[in-house]
A and B are shown apart, each in its own frame.
Chain A
Amino acid sequence: QVQLQESGPGLVKPSGTLSLTCAVSGDSIGSYYWWSWARQPPGKGLEWIGEIYHTGSPNYNPSLKSRVTISVDKSKNHFSLNLSSVTAADTAVYYCMRGRDYSWGSWGQGTLVTVSS
C-alpha cells in the first residue's frame, strides 16, 4: 500500500518561494506512475499544479508554469514542488498524488501553506 506524505513550511512570506516535498513509501518513485501536485484554497475547489515521471520532463499547469518547478529525487524516493513569487492567492492545502490512467488513485493527506508576512 503506497503512502505519500507532504512536508515543508506552513508559512511563507509574500514574494518568497514555497517548497514542499512528498515522501513516497510502499512504492518506488521509479515505478510506472506519474507523480503530481494539486492544491485547494480553503473552502474552494481543486487545481492541478503539475506532474513528473521519473524519466521524463515535468508538465505544468499553464497558469502556473512560469513559477513552478517539480523535481524527483530517486535516491530519497521523493519528489518536490517549488512555487516562486507567492502571494496570498497561493494560500492552500497542497496535495501530492500518484497517478495512472489519467487519474490519481493515491493522495497524501495534504499540507496547509499560508502566504503571509
Chain B
Amino acid sequence: EIVLTQSPATLSLSPGERATLSCRASQSVSSTYLAWYQQKPGQAPGLLIYGASNRATGIPDRFSGSVSGTDFTLTISRLEPEDFAVYYCQHYGGSSFYTFGQGTKLEIK
C-alpha cells in the first residue's frame, strides 16, 4: 500500500503570499494518478488538480501542481482569503484502491 505523507501539517500565511504544499509518496507512483482537493469547514472536498498538474474545471490559474520523483507539490501563487482551507492529496494505487494524505491546514497568519 502506498502511503501519502503531507507536509506541513499546518501552514500559516497571509493573503497575497505564496503557498507550497507537499505530498510525498512512499514509493514511486505515476503522476497520472495523483489529485489534490480543497475542503472548507462543513463542506465536501472539491477537486483542484488531477493527473498531478491538470487544473479541474473552473479552478483559478493561481493553483498549480507539479511533481519531482515521489514528491508532489501544490502551489498557490498568491493567496486569496477564500483559499484558507484544508488540502488533501489523493492517489490511485492500482487494483482499484485509493488513498488520501492526512491533509495540510492552510490558515491565516
Write the residues of chain A forming the contact surface with B, with a CB cutoff of 8 angstroms.
45-48, 51, 59, 61-62, 95, 101-105, 107-110
A103→B50 contact, CB < 8 A: yes
* Chain B 9-32 near chain A by CB (<8 Å), digits 1 or 0: 000000000000000000000001
List of A residues within 8 angstroms of B32 by Cβ = 102
Give the distance to chain B from A83, nearest Cβ to Cβ, in Å: 17
Task: Check A46/B45 contact, CB under 8 A, given A102-B50, A105-B56.
Answer: yes
- Chain A residue nearest to B46 in the complex (CB): A107
B35→A102 contact, CB < 8 A: yes
Task: Check A103/B100 contact, CB under 8 A, given A46-B45, A46-B88, A95-B44.
Answer: no
Contact of A110 among B33, B44, B101 (CB under 8 A): B44
With a 10 A CB-CB cut-off, give which of A59, A101, A109 has the most chain B CB atoms.
A101
Q: Does B90 contact A (CB under 8 A)?
A: yes
Q: Does B99 contact A (CB under 8 A)?
A: yes
List of B residues within 8 angstroms of A103 by Cβ = 35, 47, 50, 56, 90, 92
Task: Check A104/B47 contact, CB under 8 A, given A47-B100, A61-B97.
Answer: yes
List of A residues within 8 angstroms of B44 by Cβ = 95, 107-110
Total residue contacts A-B, CB cutoff 8 A: 51
List of B residues within 8 angstroms of A51 by Cβ = 96
Q: How many residues of B contact A (CB 8 A)?
A: 23
- Chain A residue nearest to B50 in the complex (CB): A103
Complex: how many Å from CA A59 to CA B50?
A: 21
Complex: how many Å from CA A48 to CA B98?
A: 6
- Chain A residue nearest to B96 in the complex (CB): A59
Q: Does B102 contact A (CB under 8 A)?
A: yes
Complex: how many Å from CA A103 to CA B55?
A: 12
Complex: how many Å from CA A102 to CA B90?
A: 9
List of A residues within 8 angstroms of B51 by Cβ = 101-102
